Structure 1
């Protein structure tokens, strides 16, 4: 048995388009319900929120690397907090990487929804596993390693072991759940600025204010605008399925 050849064949196949999954009106409603169930109740959020936090921090990291900053490390904590440490001589570049935290889970969620409904579910999961694997180099704590390795295992299983249809359905649910999670985190951020101002130093909007002198409220509004745009993008294929019922 040629293991390397078989592995490469399976790996390459994961990045090809599969049959577009048939998602009925009822299944789409169940997917929306599953997304809410993952992102709203405290019990499920305790675990799914870790994936949302990882996506948030990877947004900071990707923005930092693509803007020429030095990425020192990423820490993920089990209380859903995280830290991405970068070094830059440019305030503009630092602000750029600081911005791309809260919007990224929604953007990834919208991409997952489109991929899942378009027959690219396995490709989305295979790509995610590669990105997560690359991030292992920058993780600086055990909790971060544990969360990321678990996410890699789940994504790889969907990409290489599950059927294309199953991978597509799960990708849609994960995408919708990340979109819901993005709204939840935005509400939490807003609450920090309105009622929990003792925690302002943990807020990306406040850090952006410190770096640019632009008020935190403007940054929160910009986060909200990008998240709303991601919801609008994701809602196009979802609404098309729901409207088929009429």
Structure 2
């Protein structure tokens, strides 16, 4: 009997997580976009919120390292919103190139994946995926600030997904996705600004330049294309779902 109840509860939870939610009101989607844009544009707010972009950035490095067979040693996140991901394997080749490439494009691509889920109405699923990924990232963190930052972010997503009503969940999910899409753009231009000033000689772009013998500026251009392309495509998936009252087919 207890086993049947447990299976029934798990099945019900799975249906709740994977079910599509009602279409989010247009005003809420656009308000979330406005708040996200203001957060990215306003420097004092950006200094704090940028931690979320750093989590996505280092998570991208870590995921690419694992997918290409490298041995992931650990992740560190710092209070100045910088971070480092250490992995072991060949210091050259496809795995190393993909690992170095993944950082700056990760926030935008995560945002694009989130927009795909929201465009289909899967608000709860998005929140649970975020909680799951952050929980996995906790296992690889190697400093206290990193643990605190990821734990706080994951706890917030969990509380919203578990206790908040549908409208609050939708507002949080849209704000998070818009922030990743918009926030993925600014660090790329900050990177190039730092490189011009000679303050980032060992940036991801410069490492890619050494690995591939292609100009580092070309890799910055790739970062820009991915960030802007993800922002435009993700916005296309998010906004029509609010304007037309239907989920977006893509």
| TM-score using structure 2 length | 0.87
Matched, 1:30 2:34: no
| 1:10 CA drift (Å) | 7.0
The one of 186, 191, 194 equivalent to 1:192 is 194
Quote the residue 1:218 is aligned against.
218
What is the DSSP-based 3-state SS (H/G/I as helix, E as strand, rest coil) of the residue aligned with 2:209?
helix
Quote the residue 1:78 is aligned against.
79
User: How many pairs align?
Assistant: 239
Pairing of 1:135-146 with structure 2 (within 5 A) = 135-146=137-148
**CA 1:22–1:242 in 2, change beyond 3 Å: closer, same or farther?**
closer
What is the DSSP-based 3-state SS (H/G/I as helix, E as strand, rest coil) of the residue aligned with 1:96?
helix
Quote the residue 1:108 is aligned against.
110
Conserved in 1, the CA contact under 8 Å of 2:191 and 2:200?
A: no
Conserved in 2, the CA contact under 8 Å of 1:116 and 1:167?
A: no
What is the DSSP-based 3-state SS (H/G/I as helix, E as strand, rest coil) of the residue aligned with 1:78?
coil
**CA 1:238–1:152 in 2, change beyond 3 Å: closer, same or farther?**
closer
Quote the residue 1:48 is aligned against.
49
Conserved in 1, the CA contact under 8 Å of 2:33 and 2:174?
A: no
Structure 2: stretches of 5+ with no match in the other structure: 245-250
Tell me, in whole angstroms, the C-alpha distance in 1 between the residues paired with 2:195 and 2:76: 24
Matched, 1:147 2:149: yes
Tell me, in whole angstroms, the C-alpha distance in 2 between the residues paired with 1:11 and 1:141: 34
Structure 1: stretches of 5+ with no match in the other structure: none
Quote the residue 1:233 is aligned against.
233
| 1:38 CA drift (Å) | 2.3
The one of 168, 180, 183 equivalent to 2:182 is 180
Runs of 4+ in 1 over 3 A off after TM superposition: 4-11, 241-244
1:111-139: CA deviations, max 9, x gaps? 22332343211111111111111111110
